[in-house]
């Protein structure tokens, strides 16, 4: 998968800089279930999430995107998500392994990573927090509850939380 960040053009004035920064922000949702992706996309739209949302099917694809977004000599400014919603049970690389990779990397560990899974398993909850998850949420069965949950995620992680640059 080729992941090329959009070209960023210089802006004049503080308002232009803020707008350019907002356009760069994106949320990454990692979930292999296409039905869940559709429901999550609709719930995000209903909550008017301004950030660009990108979906990937598994942990391996997520790690590839994060590696490509790290700063380099030619691109010293990172292009990384402002939030990751991560499912646990996926093929190739599950969410537990992907989470350990994120949180063990100095340039990735500050990205807020919320586990969003259908699991209610206490072992999954404990392991996720042990591995550095910022939050653990269980996907509700009812769509209206999913919309509410995504609204809470948006409000907290994208509007209220004070995060490092």
Mean pLDDT, 10 residues at a time, the chain of 165 residues:
39 43 75 96 95 94 93 83 96 94 95 96 97 97 97 96 84
164 is a domain residue? no
**pTM of the shown model:** 0.83
pLDDT value at residue 135: 97
Supply the angle between the helices 34-46 and 143-153 in degrees, to the nearest 10.
Answer: 60
Residue 118 lies in a domain: yes
* pLDDT given for residue 24 in this prediction: 55
| Structural domain includes residue 15 | no
User: What pLDDT does 2 receive?
Assistant: 43
Closest listed residue to residue 91, CA positions, set 139, 59, 119 = 59
**Which residues are bridge partners to 136 per DSSP?**
115
CATH number for 93: 3.40.50.2300
Q: CA 112, CA 103: separation in Å to the nearest integer?
A: 10
- How many structural domains compose the chain? 1
Residue 114 lies in a domain: yes
Domain extent for 44 = 23-159
């Amino acid at each position: 998968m080729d992941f090329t960040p959009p070209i960023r053009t210089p802006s004049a004035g503080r308002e232009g800089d803020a707008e350019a920064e907002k356009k760069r922000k994106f949320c990454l949702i990692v979930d292999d279930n296409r039905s869940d992706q559709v429901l999550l996309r609709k719930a995000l739209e209903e909550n008017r999430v301004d950030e660009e949302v990108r979906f990937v099917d598994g942990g391996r694809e997520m790690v590839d995107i994060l590696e490509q977004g790290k700063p380099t000599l030619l691109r010293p400014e990172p292009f990384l998500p402002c939030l990751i919603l991560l499912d646990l049970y996926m093929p190739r690389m599950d969410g537990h392994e992907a989470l350990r990779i994120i949180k063990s990397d100095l340039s990735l560990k500050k990205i807020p990573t919320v586990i969003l899974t259908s699991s209610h398993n206490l072992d999954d909850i404990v392991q996720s927090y042990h591995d550095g998850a910022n939050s653990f949420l269980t996907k509700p069965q009812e769509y209206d509850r999913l919309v509410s949950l995504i609204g809470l995620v948006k409000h907290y992680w994208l509007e209220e939380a004070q995060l490092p640059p």
